Structure 1
Amino acid sequence: MEKIKMTTPLVEMDGDEMTRILWQQIKDEVILPFVDLKTEYYDLGLVHREETQDQVTVDAANANKKYGVAVKCATITPNAQRVEEYHLSQMWKSPNGTIRAILDGTVFRAPIMVKGISPVVRTWKQPITIARHAFGDVYRATEYRVPGPGKAELVFTSDDHRRTAHWQTVHRFEGPGVLQAQFNTDQSITSFARSCFQYAVDTRQDLWFATKDTISKQYDHTFKDIFQEIYDAEYKEKFESLGIEYFYTLIDDAVARVI
Structure 2
Amino acid sequence: MAFNKIKVSNPVVEMDGDEMTRVFWKSIKDKLIFPFVDLDIKYFDLGLPHRDATDDKVTVEAAEATLKYNVAIKCATITPDEARVNEFGLKAMWKSPNGTIRNILNGTVFREPIICKNIPRLVPGWTKPICIGRHAFGDQYRATDAVIKGPGKLKLVFEGKEEQVELEVFNFTGAGGVALSMYNTDESIHAFADASMATAYEKKWPLYLSTKNTILKKYDGRFKDIFQEVYEAGWKTKFEAAGIWYSFKSRFISHLFL
- TM-score, with length taken from structure 1: 0.95
Go from structure 1 to structure 2 and tell me whether the alpha carbon gap of 1:92 and 1:159 turns closer, same or farther (over 3 Å shift).
farther
User: 1:169 aligns to what?
Assistant: 168
User: 2:69 aligns to what?
Assistant: 67
Q: CA deviation at 1:255?
A: 2.0
Q: For residues 225 and 123 of structure 1, what CA distance do their matches in structure 2 show?
A: 35
Q: For residues 208 and 126 of structure 2, what CA distance do their matches in structure 1 show?
A: 16
Over the aligned positions, Cα root-mean-square deviation in angstroms equals: 1.3
What are the superposed Cα offsets for residues 217-236 of structure 1, whole Å, 9 maximum, x if unpaired?
A: 10000000000000001000
Mapping 1:64-213, distance limit 5 Å:
64-159=66-161, 164=164, 166-173=165-172, 174-213=174-213
Q: For residues 121 and 242 of structure 2, what CA distance do their matches in structure 1 show?
A: 27
Q: Is residue 153–residue 168 contact of structure 1 (8 Å, CA) maintained in 2?
A: yes
Q: Which amino acid aligns with 1:209?
A: L
Q: Is residue 144–residue 182 contact of structure 2 (8 Å, CA) maintained in 1?
A: yes
User: 2:214 aligns to what?
Assistant: 214
Q: CA deviation at 1:169?
A: 1.4
Q: CA deviation at 1:5?
A: 1.7
Q: Which amino acid aligns with 1:83?
A: V
Q: Is residue 137–residue 182 contact of structure 1 (8 Å, CA) maintained in 2?
A: yes
Go from structure 1 to structure 2 and tell me whether the alpha carbon gap of 1:180 and 1:48 turns closer, same or farther (over 3 Å shift).
same
Q: For residues 12 and 257 of structure 1, what CA distance do their matches in structure 2 show?
A: 36
User: 1:9 aligns to what?
Assistant: 11
Q: Is residue 152–residue 171 contact of structure 2 (8 Å, CA) maintained in 1?
A: yes
Q: Is residue 9–residue 39 contact of structure 2 (8 Å, CA) maintained in 1?
A: no
Q: CA deviation at 1:73?
A: 0.6
Q: For residues 122 and 156 of structure 2, what CA distance do their matches in structure 1 show?
A: 43
Q: Is residue 224–residue 248 contact of structure 2 (8 Å, CA) maintained in 1?
A: yes
User: 1:256 aligns to what?
Assistant: 255
Q: For residues 146 and 169 of structure 2, what CA distance do their matches in structure 1 show?
A: 13
SS in 2 for 1:251: coil
Q: CA deviation at 1:176?
A: 2.3
Q: For residues 209 and 175 of structure 1, what CA distance do their matches in structure 2 show?
A: 40
Q: Is residue 149–residue 175 contact of structure 2 (8 Å, CA) maintained in 1?
A: yes
Does 1:247 pair with 2:242?
no
Q: CA deviation at 1:188?
A: 0.4
SS in 2 for 1:108: strand
Gaps of 5+ in 1: none
Q: Is residue 208–residue 249 contact of structure 1 (8 Å, CA) maintained in 2?
A: yes
Q: CA deviation at 1:104?
A: 1.3
Q: Is residue 11–residue 70 contact of structure 1 (8 Å, CA) maintained in 2?
A: yes
User: 2:31 aligns to what?
Assistant: 29
Q: Which amino acid aligns with 2:170?
A: H
Q: Is residue 100–residue 135 contact of structure 1 (8 Å, CA) maintained in 2?
A: yes
Q: Which amino acid aligns with 1:89?
A: K
Query: Which of 34, 38, 41 is residue 40 of structure 2 equivalent to?
Result: 38
Q: Which amino acid aligns with 2:211?
A: T
User: 1:223 aligns to what?
Assistant: 223
Q: Which amino acid aligns with 2:147?
A: R
Q: Is residue 3–residue 34 contact of structure 1 (8 Å, CA) maintained in 2?
A: yes
Go from structure 1 to structure 2 and tell me whether the alpha carbon gap of 1:104 and 1:26 turns closer, same or farther (over 3 Å shift).
same
SS in 1 for 2:91: coil
- TM-score, with length taken from structure 2: 0.95
Q: Which amino acid aligns with 2:93?
A: M
Q: For residues 120 and 21 of structure 2, what CA distance do their matches in structure 1 show?
A: 28
